[in-house]
Amino acid sequence: MSIDRPGVKPVRIAIFQIFLIGALLAFACTVHAADPVKPVNPNKVADFSDIDAKIYKSEMLENFEEKAISEIFLPQETAATVNISRELTPPVSESTQYVAIRIPEPETRRVRLQFAKPPEVKAYCRAFTFWLNVEKLHARLSLIVEDREGRRHFLDSGELQFRGWRRMRLSVPQKVHQQDWYLNEKSALKLIGIEVVFARKYTKNKLPLILIDEIAAEVRDKYQVPPALKKN
């Protein structure tokens, strides 16, 4: 028959409790050090630039590097002089020349260039980009595009109140129909031409000069064709 000494049992319980608490604290510290929990910032805005770069790409439509001007544009109905030029430094290092549009008469109010063979964009196009050089013109430039239904749309640049080279980006609105009607139809959006409309007359000693280069489209795939439907 064992006899517990007074005060021994409570002391043992207290020691055990202290040991247990110490072990739990040590374990908690180890877990916290190995896998720290980062605080959540509720004000952080997601950055989709990397995702966007993977979805969309730039498709060059005309860089004015390889063809003569007569191969690029149809004969003009206006008195504007259109040629390939190298007088000024191109906007990007990859370019060596660009198209130059000169207005020979102060009364000229509209210039329209139509591509001899309109570039086609068969992927989904959200915007057209190009480089433009002007000297604060009272004018507006439009890209003329034709959708899958044959309707023409004018993508307007707004007032050209700047100097030197500037990269322009004209968004394609939803009313421009370019989606396929059936799988793998490959309908195309066509770039028909370029139009410049002047808001006022110019004097003969200060006739406008317009330089254009590197016309491209921001595109993505319309859809992914299932492997079973792909042709070998």
Question: What is the pTM assigned to this prediction?
Answer: 0.73
**Helices and strands in the chain: count of H runs, count of E runs:** 3, 11
- In this prediction, residues 45-68 reach a mean pLDDT of 82
Q: What CATH number is given to the structural domain containing 115?
A: 2.60.120.260
Neighbours of 137 (CB within 10 A): 22
Residue 127's beta-bridge partner residues? 171, 218
pLDDT 10s digits, 155-170 = 999 999 999 999 999 9
The contacts of residue 207 (CB under 8 Å, 6+ apart) are 102, 103, 104, 105, 106
Q: Tell me if 135 is assigned to some domain.
A: yes
Q: Tell me if 12 is assigned to some domain.
A: no
**pLDDT recorded at residue 31:** 47
In the chain, how long is the greatest CA-to-CA distance?
A: 126
pLDDT of residue 12 exceeding 80, the answer is no
pLDDT 10s digits, 109-138 = 889 999 999 999 999 999 999 999 998 888
User: What does the alpha-carbon distance between residue 146 and residue 118 come to, in Å, rounded to a whole number?
Assistant: 10
Six-digit token string for 216: 């491209």
* Structural domain boundaries, residue 201: 53-220
Give the pLDDT band of residue 220 (cuts 50, 70, 90).
very high
Q: Tell me if 41 is assigned to some domain.
A: no
Q: How does the average pLDDT of the chain come out, rounded?
A: 82
Domain count for the chain, please give it.
Answer: 1
pLDDT 10s digits, 181-190 = 877 778 899 9
Neighbours of 33 (CB within 10 A): 8
